[in-house]
Amino acid sequence: MRKAKMILDRDYVLSRVDKRIFGSFIEHLGRAVYTGLFEPGHPQADEEGFRKDVLKLVRTLDVPVVRYPGGNFVSGFNWEDSVGPREKRPRRLDLAWKTTETNAFGLHEFCSWAGKAGTEVMYAVNLGTRGPKEAREVVEYCNHPGGTALSDLRKKNGAKDPFNIRLWCLGNEMDGPWQMGSKTAYEYGRTANEAAKLMKWTDTTIETVACGSSSTEMKTFGEWEYTMLSECYDNIDYVSLHRYYGNPHNDTPDFLASSINLDSFIRTVVSICDAVKGKKHSGKTVNLSLDEWNVWYHSNQQDQELYKREPWGSALPLLEDVYNFEDALLVGLMLITILKNADRVKIGCIAQLVNVIAPIMTRAGGGAWAQTIYWPLMQASRYGRGFSLLPQCASDLMDTTHYSDVPVVDAAAVLDDRGAVTVFAVNRDLKEGAELTLDLRAFGTMRLESHSVLHHDDVKAVNTEENPDNVRPRDVPAYMEDGKVILPAASWNVLRLIPEKP
Ligand code: AHR
């Protein structure tokens, strides 16, 4: 039996959890929008063509914010193409994903969909092929109450009230050579600064997110953040981070250790933000927006074949990773990592939400179902709100191909406003159970109210339309003695502790 210990104290709070860490992302890519969110004529479509079965799954996830409309797509996008009468909207080549964008679904539709999904919009502007002028114009179109050409155009297009979008991304992955209009850190820092300045002059209430590195593997990682932030620190509020992991060599222990890399990515970006703050003698702290994260690798080969078959197609089934049980474990570990860094990570967007590397899958004309990764996300979003407690956890360690001293048990804990504590814990050991001792100190007597376990004997098990419940969490008997709880081998666990009544 593996061993781990977690010390929890109500006075040792890391930070209030910003609920936006449980956000997601929708890009005009593949079937995320078309036959994902939007499928007029589908038996489940509402009067606007939004799939009600998808909306239901999104609402159950309780997604507080959704980034839109890209991604790489945004760097060639004209926001004006996506508003006004649908029949007049242009069809355009999307150079990012080598497809054709019909613009049948656009800005107004997305804002309406977001209202129905109970989520906030995080809107990305194009700083690849366009610049500060167009960026500030879309802010005026969306947020200005009226009486100007752009705000009155919004009204004419059907939205009397402003959309009041608060969160704005200043481009996407501008460090990547694959990006349309990619830039050096200095070029981007200057452009982001001017764009953010004009956007904030247009609406003083908005917050802006500057592009950080697309991955820890970028050669420019570190230098990019320092140079870029030196140019735009005063006008931005968050730095974005993007990180995807894969298991192409079928090395599950190493794959499950990848969240260590995410933790060090976050800590490094925090250090650089604070170094620039020091250099500038600034009183302001820039926080982090992990606005793309997930597992992504299953669909790579399949996508190459698709492009050969259907060049410049629309709504192609691109990036349709079918997630297995081990992917759900890594997603759980990434959520634990985010919670353990809740003092600086204020926004998180799993990429993406529907069909494209997504927790929710649909079949055109058919059903919608939850992939394996849906479950840790849903449980973290539902029970992970409140105060993230200081992560004092000691565990047996293990070594993997690329990581040493990897904790066998990784865990985070959140104290909610009703005094309940939720512990999220993953046992990385694929064969042995782990005994987790919870030292609850100043909490007094706590009772283990419930213990939910996500486990499957086959780490490659998946959910399908025909078998949607193959991998899903199940309640096990809530058994805790002397603070000891058993976590099965290869498992994601949600332990709900409530104060014992006197
Ligand atoms: O989420 C898929 C793509 O991954 C996004 O368009 C891009 O930002 C990233 O490289």
Which tens digit of pLDDT belongs to each residue from 450-491? 999 999 999 999 999 999 999 999 999 999 999 999 999 999
Residue whose Cα lies nearest atom 8 of ligand 1: it is 71
Task: Tell how far the Cα of 332 is from the centroid of ligand 1, in angstroms.
Answer: 21
- pLDDT > 70: percent of the chain: 100
Residue whose Cα lies nearest atom 4 of ligand 1: it is 71
Catalytic-labelled residue, pool 120, 137, 173, 225: 173
- 173 is annotated as an active-site residue: yes
Which tens digit of pLDDT belongs to each residue from 190-245? 999 999 999 999 999 999 999 999 999 999 999 999 999 999 999 999 999 999 99
Domains and CATH numbers, the chain: 2-9+389-499 (2.60.40.1180), 18-383 (3.20.20.80)
Both tokens assigned to 239: 């730095």
Residue to probe by mutation, ligand 1, list 24, 28, 33, 72, most atoms within 8 Å of CB: 72
Backbone angles phi, psi at 50, to 5 degrees: -85, 135
Q: Is 292 in the pocket of ligand 1 (CB under 6 A)?
A: yes
* Claim: this prediction has a pTM higher than 0.85: yes
- The whole-angstrom separation of Cα 233 and Cα 210 is 9
CB 258 within 8 A of CB 245: yes
The C-alpha angle with vertex 73 and arms to 185 and 145, in degrees rounded to 5, equals 90
Confidence at residue 502, expressed as pLDDT on a 0 to 100 scale: 61
Residue to probe by mutation, ligand 1, list 67, 94, 170, 172, most atoms within 8 Å of CB: 172
Residue to probe by mutation, ligand 1, list 25, 27, 174, 356, most atoms within 8 Å of CB: 27
CB 386 within 8 A of CB 16: yes
Task: Tell how far the Cα of 227 is from the centroid of ligand 1, in angstroms.
Answer: 23
